C-alpha cells in the first residue's frame, strides 16, 4: 500500500431489522475507512425506498453471496440463519460480526472453521456492559459469573421457553422470575432475548458455568441486565438499563455498539481491550 493511501473495509449486512437498518444508515452517513457494499433481507422489497435514498446504494444479495463482496459481514438476522451467514464468511478468511451469539453455542464448529481458514468471529459488546473486565479477569481465574435480566413482559413474547411452559405474559402484573439456569439453557429458551448472557459466557467461564435469571417485570420500561463476577483478580458487579429499540426484544445500544466497533477498525486511537 502506498504512503498516504487508506485501507477501506467493505461491509455487508445480513438482516435489516431495527439493528441492521441503523447500522446501514450510519455507514452510509460516514464511518472512516468503511463502505457499505451489500445488504440482504428476507423481505427486501419493504426496504427499497430507504435503500434507494442512501448516498451509495448497496447491492442486494442472498445471504450466501455476501462474503463474495465484503471483508466484514454483520449478522443482524434471526438466529436460525447464523450458520448460513457466517460459514461462507469465515471459510474465506474474512470477519463475521455476530449479534445472535446464542446460535454459536449450537454451531460452535464455526469457530474451528474460522481458525482453519484464518477468519474471525466477532461478538460485539452489544447490550451488555463490562465485557472488557470479564475478558481480562478470564486471563486469570473466574470463580463465578451470574447475570440477572429484567424486561417488560411483552419483550419475551414468542420465546420458546415461554411458549413451552405456557407462561401467560399478559397475566404478569408483578415482577416474576420465569427462568433460572445456565447460559446454554437460557440461549435455547430465549434465543432472541438473551444473547447478552452468551456474550458474557464466551468472554468468561463458558455457557455451562455462567448462571442466568430472567424476570418478566412490568415495573420496568427498559431492558435491565446486571452481571456479577468473582475472580482471583477482582470482584465486580455492573448494571445497564437499555432503552428498547423498535423491536422490544432489543436495546437501542446494540446497534450503537456495532457502529462503535466499525469506527474502531481504522481509528487512530482505540480505547478498550
Give the residue numbers marked as catalytic: 225
From 190, 173, 171, select the one nearest 181 (Cα to Cα): 190
Residue keyed to cell 467461564: 205
From 16, 28, 131, 138, select the one nearest 74 (Cα to Cα): 16
d(CA 87, CA 257): 23
d(CA 156, CA 154): 5
**Could you tell me the three cell numbers for 130?**
463490562
Number of CB atoms found within 10 A of residue 18's CB: 20
Answer for the pair 205, 145: CB distance below 8 angstroms, yes or no.
yes
Helix (H, G, I), strand (E, B) or coil at 235: strand
Answer for the pair 79, 158: CB distance below 8 angstroms, yes or no.
no
Buried b vs exposed e over 8-17: b needs ≥16 C-beta within 10 Å?
ebbbbbbbbb
Amino acid at each position: 500500500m502506498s504512503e498516504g493511501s487508506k485501507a477501506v473495509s467493505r461491509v455487508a449486512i445480513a438482516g435489516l431489522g431495527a439493528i441492521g437498518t441503523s447500522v446501514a444508515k450510519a455507514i452510509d452517513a460516514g464511518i472512516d475507512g468503511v463502505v457499505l457494499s451489500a445488504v440482504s433481507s428476507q423481505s427486501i422489497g419493504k426496504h427499497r425506498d430507504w435503500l434507494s435514498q442512501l448516498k451509495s446504494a448497496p447491492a442486494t444479495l442472498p445471504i450466501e453471496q455476501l462474503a463474495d463482496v465484503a471483508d466484514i459481514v454483520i449478522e443482524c438476522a434471526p438466529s436460525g440463519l447464523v450458520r448460513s451467514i457466517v460459514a461462507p464468511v469465515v471459510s474465506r478468511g474474512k470477519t463475521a460480526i455476530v449479534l445472535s451469539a446464542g446460535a454459536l453455542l449450537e454451531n460452535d464448529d464455526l469457530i474451528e472453521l474460522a481458525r482453519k481458514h484464518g477468519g474471525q468471529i466477532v461478538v460485539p459488546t452489544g447490550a451488555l456492559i463490562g465485557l472488557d473486565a470479564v475478558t481480562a479477569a478470564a486471563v486469570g481465574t473466574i470463580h463465578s459469573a451470574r447475570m440477572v435480566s429484567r424486561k417488560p413482559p411483552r419483550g419475551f413474547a414468542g420465546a420458546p421457553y415461554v411458549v413451552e411452559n405456557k407462561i401467560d405474559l399478559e397475566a404478569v402484573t408483578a415482577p416474576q422470575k420465569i427462568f433460572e439456569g445456565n447460559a446454554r439453557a437460557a440461549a435455547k429458551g430465549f434465543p432472541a432475548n438473551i444473547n447478552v448472557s452468551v456474550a458474557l459466557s464466551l468472554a468468561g467461564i463458558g455457557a455451562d458455568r455462567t448462571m442466568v435469571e430472567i424476570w418478566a417485570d412490568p415495573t420496568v420500561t427498559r431492558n435491565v441486565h446486571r452481571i456479577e463476577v468473582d475472580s482471583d483478580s477482582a470482584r465486580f458487579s455492573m448494571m445497564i438499563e437499555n432503552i428498547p429499540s423498535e423491536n422490544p426484544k432489543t436495546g437501542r445500544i446494540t446497534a450503537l455498539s456495532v457502529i462503535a466497533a466499525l469506527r474502531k477498525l481504522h481509528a487512530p486511537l482505540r480505547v478498550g481491550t
